[in-house]
Amino acid sequence: MLMLALYAVLIAYFCYSVYFYGGRWVGNPHNPRISDQKQRVVMGTVTDRDGTVLAYTDESGERRYHGSRDTRMAVSHVVGDSGGMASTGVDTFHAQYLLGFKSSVFERVSDALTGTTQRGDDLTLTISERLSRYITEQFPEGKRGAVVVMNYKTGEVLSMVSLPQFDPLEVSEALAGEDEGALMNRATQGLYPPGSTFKIVTMASALENLPDMEDFAFDCTGYYPVGNYSVTETSAHGVQTLSDAFKNSCNTAFAALSQELGYALLGETAQKLGFNENFMFGDMIVYNSSYPMDDLSAEDLAWSSIGQGRVLATPMHMALIACTIANDGVMYEPHLLKEIQTAQGGTRELPGSFTGKRVLEAETARRIEQEMVRVVKSGTGTRAALGNGYVVAGKTGSAEASDDKSVQTHAWFVGYITNDNAPYAISVLVENGGSGGGVAAPLARRTLQKAINLGL
């Protein structure tokens, strides 16, 4: 009976693995079936949401990319390359569609009877090539980082830009060049301390778990001793309500708040919002963000509450958190595929394994939105504000990148437009960019304005 039970567990795990990871295994660049399939199947075309062709296969069977180098670079991490060096790109991750692995028996028989060379599916992506190129042009020169723009109502990824970039026609340059890690998509693979943008999580935990938050008051003197360390501020803020502390991004107030919450409650909220979770999205691979649960020291808790210490997040995950607040506490799956067209002219069902789920109470999300709006109106994020009646909710972050502050901080901005006619959420990260309010927020403002102008 024990042996039978063990075999049953093994079979169940095998089925689970194939169901959840099968698509990723097919898209692995080391899978010999991919190279074999390329010899027999014409790889499908990839276009952006406006119909701009980003990748196609010519008559000789060679994989080609957009004629403009600027465009190729701007969408390089989304589209990928023919050799699979950027393994999370569409050309590799969605090879199961592009190379006809998803073709039905009837489709293959039809091709055989007509003598037609089998052709893979054509993919229409949700991204905008024009917006991606604009973000690349506006990104601080010489800096690394990422920008993610999403439609928070539909989950569509409108742009996913990572810098440094590479040219899919000259991948060898990226491998031999000075831009180390140019093939890595920092939007989905880059793990960074989120800094003060994590205060969205801490505030959500406080609102849902601690009573009398409306009466919260903390006298910020510029430092807060905890354990063997002190959490510091550049200047004393004086007496802060919870709303004031969020608007002014007061580290000491949130460190004190963390001591009331404790590891269990703050960790529970972080995990609800996706930290320590293995995202099994159908359209893309997003690395796991982490919130430490093994060190229960008071100082580690304090640093975690302000997005420092061992807390790490991807720009894509922070964009999803912004979308969650915009959607009254419901987190949805990000989508990169807008349509899949078969060689016979039909459409194929879009993939999807992660449905929306409520992670915060609607009242909590609406309260946080009010505070994020205040941040942009009169707090640390004023340089993200838009005119013409558009209201931006956001949170800045300047995340320490070294223990001794010898390295410039990472600049963050996370937020969204509250107007129904422009449901755009954004996450901006500039590696060692300095101030979130001074560097990331203006880039967010320009990007959101461009998205509005393009009418995405």
pLDDT digits (tens, 9 = 90+) for 145-188: 999 999 999 999 999 999 999 999 998 877 776 666 899 999 99
pLDDT of residue 103: 75
User: What are the boundaries of each domain within the chain?
Assistant: 195-336+352-454
Q: Which segments of the chain have a pLDDT < 70? A: 19-30, 105, 109-116, 177-180, 352-354, 404
Number of Cα atoms under 13 Å in the Cβ half of residue 404: 1
Write the CATH number of the domain with boundaries 195-336+352-454. 3.40.710.10
Helix axes 251-272, 199-209, angle to 10 degrees: 80
How many CB atoms lie under 10 A from the CB of residue 51?
A: 8
Q: Do 444 and 161 contact (CB within 8 A), yes or no?
A: no
Give the pLDDT of residue 198. 97
Q: What is the pLDDT of residue 395?
A: 98
CA distance 34 to 97: 11
The radius of gyration of the chain from alpha carbons, rounded to an integer in Å, stands at: 23
pLDDT of residue 434: 92
Tokens of 132: 């991606």
Indicate if the alpha-carbon torsion angle 151, 377, 315, 301 is positive or negative. negative
Output the pTM of the full model.
Answer: 0.91
Close Cβ partners of 247 (under 8 Å, ≥ 6 residues apart): 371, 374, 375, 378, 379, 380
What b/e readout covers 133-146, taking b as 16+ CB neighbours within 10 angstroms? bbbbeebbeebbbb
Would you state the pLDDT for residue 265?
94
